[in-house]
Structure 1
Amino acid sequence: MNKSFKSVITLLLLTVVLAACGSNNSGTGTTSNASPESANNGEKVKLTAWAWNVNVGALNEAITAYQQDHPNVALEVQDIGRLDVYDKLSTGLAAGGAGLPDIVLVEDDRLQGYLDAFPKGFVNLSEKGFDAKLSEFPTFKQELTKKDGVSYAFPFDAGPTGVFYRTDLFEQAGVDASKIETWDDYLAAGKLIKEKTGAQLFPVDKFKDDATLRIMLNEQGAFYFDKDGKIDFNNPKYVKALETLKKFDEAGLIKDVNGWDGTVSATVDGTIASIAFGAWYTGTITDQAKDLSGKWGVFQVPAFEKGGNRAANLGGSSWALTSTSKNVDAAFSFMEYFSTSPDVQKVAMEKYGLFPSLTSVYNEDIFTTGVEFFSNQNIWMLFAQEMNAVPTPYYTKDYSVALDESVKAQSDVFNGKAAADALKEAAARLKDRTSREVNGG
């Protein structure tokens, strides 16, 4: 992931040269366009999109519905793999937009990097009128798709977080999940669960990823960078999060896992009793642990103090239009339909497990009924109710470098270093690598 994303920054140097060559890259969508109206009058429009995995199916479902009123608009969705999308997008943008599709899927943690590196590479959606629809999305998703107050992407899926837990193991230990409100409560519950069942509390890929730490940061309204783009590793909230994570490790409650496969294995083999992750993890659990149906539940991520915020997000993506598209108007019309249609977003969730950012979908039946696999708990409403309370994380173009340094700091703490010291050292390294200012440094 990080290696691929670094190509964006490397290729930024090329854009300075290639921009002089020109490519009608105005960023306003003013290239010669075919509108959906002209298509209905007989002019056929074929849109192209780059995406991966389940997102491909969601887009194909949407175009089928869209064609009922726009029969001459076709869409070719190219499933070229997530990392290949980023490699090809970076190369195309650096070449002034050569070979790019009309529509491209970009994860939220990468979007700001592209907007910084290629400020004229994507269509200005504010100028196209999309801002009138933004109130239909949570604030954090709105802000993640903007640069300098301008919208450049259509909000799509999100990853509101929760703690997925084994109801049978909690019951065996006499732990009531509904009583867990804080990380201290969770720690006490974990000690009892391990004593009674032998299971550790949750998995962490200690030396390669900091997903749990990011959840802890986000719910506190902190992240790698502050809203001004300064390095925020020395933030007391960051120190508190890492110190809290270390407490769980010192109590023997964290299972060290290796990568995604290790995380999934620990989730389904009974060696851990819970895991904090995004809503999208429901699909992995139901697919990989079919024999555990009815033995899972979800509760909100614990707060750092009683009554504190328990909403956080992990993951999510948005759709952008490339400014060299010859079909900007048609692409905009389709993607506005795709992103703001409750019916379309409901299908994306029900069939493909993509949790919608569009808040009007939360009135649909799927959000008011229980899920059999999860002990008939209404888990989707639990996730939906978080969305408007999720603080905005500030990724910046240096997100991948900051992630690398955050993981190093986490590793240092698990190896015995004090959290404040590890973070201060990581902040200094990050400053050297990015030339950004450090808060509290």
Structure 2
Amino acid sequence: MSSKNDVDFVLRTVEERNIRFVRLWFTDVLGNLKSFAISPEELEEAFEEGIGFDGSSVDGFASLEESDMLAFPDPDTFALLPWRPTESGVARVFCDVYTPSREPFEGDPRRCLLNVFDQAQERGFVPNVGPKIEYFYFDNDRNPVPLDNAGYFDLTPMDTANDLRRQTSLMLEKMSIPVQYSYHAAGPSQNGVELRFSEAVSCADNIMTARLVIKQEASSQGMYASFMPKPITTAPGSAMFLYESLLDHDGENLFWAPKDYHEAHLSDLGQHYVAGILAHAPEFTLVTNPTVNSYKRFISTGEVPNHATWGRKNRSALVRIPTHKPGKHISTRVELRSPDPTANPYLALAVTIAAGLKGIEDGLPLPAEATCDTFNLSDGELASQGIERLPRTLGEAVDCFEASSFMREVLGDHIFDYLVHEKRQEWYEYCTAVTDWERIHYYGGY
């Protein structure tokens, strides 16, 4: 499962650095980070035989009758935790989950993405992704009270998070996760970090690590970091933009084409990829936007997608084609603007990349580019042009997802059925809960 050289390097590093605890990381189906620690003496056995744990205690994993699971560390993901003491250090390593018979566990989100990645590689493609994650800093974990009133890219004394963003970036760099840039986002106390491109599975690992480091560093400064998509009614919501491209095995970007071939510099393959994302977007929205609150962000503000469209300069489009730097073909990519930071990154990348690959397989034509005029049309007028509306509530998203045989094929029965059950229950609980808004508007009337 791991090359001997990689394992030997990790074992040697643990000994030389006097690592006293190794944390084994994995996620549940909903994207929550799970962890347990082993001693360095157990690490070699973990690489060879896995470490057993109770899968019935992990959301979406297994029933009590089939609860035994094995965690196999991936040596390529070994990293020291820089916020722990250096004299008796702590490291982490991401794991793939297997059954006791050493079969890949179909409820493991990382395995789901690995399957899609392997399918792409078999066809000569290497999925490459760069994420940009937005979030808020608040002064406590109970009430979303902004700490500043700064705006997009502001650098003023009002930006209380400037030092915190710098420290967070340094921590990520120490864990070999390069940060392209960090910034103050558009909303009060809203921030963002963009990570450098990497292969899809590494990207999902990096997102999970970044979410933890952001929260860890905020807590150390007496603040609270929230990835809730829409914590403040009057402020912009938080997104998790995904910049996707396909490379060949020599590192050449397969999305690039000369401008005289296509105005957005998109090759035929790139056009089919975008068409696949647009065709399957309503089906995968449950995965990229998995909470009730996710859909509060979709209130139209001019920069949040509501329909399955693409464009170059229009940030209301679901897929935007950024202008790449002249002469830098490698920077040609597509920007998926709908996901939010509550999504399980392994599943979000699995379904969006699979949708793009399906577009290539089926040779789907790229629809006409959406312009500002497009968004002045009604839903009915857009539908007559073949432009689909994205789900507007979690309930709609569950319905679109459940009706999709393609989503079942990509995610497998285990993850698919679990998401339908859990998210339908979440929607039911939300619909039956009485809110403060209702009490304010209806309690004294009628």
Shared fold (TM-score greater than 0.5)? no
TM-score range, shorter chain: under 0.3
- Hey, which of these two has a bigger chunk of strand by percent? 2
TM norm structure 2? 0.28
- Hey, which of these two has a bigger chunk of helix by percent? 1
TM norm structure 1? 0.28
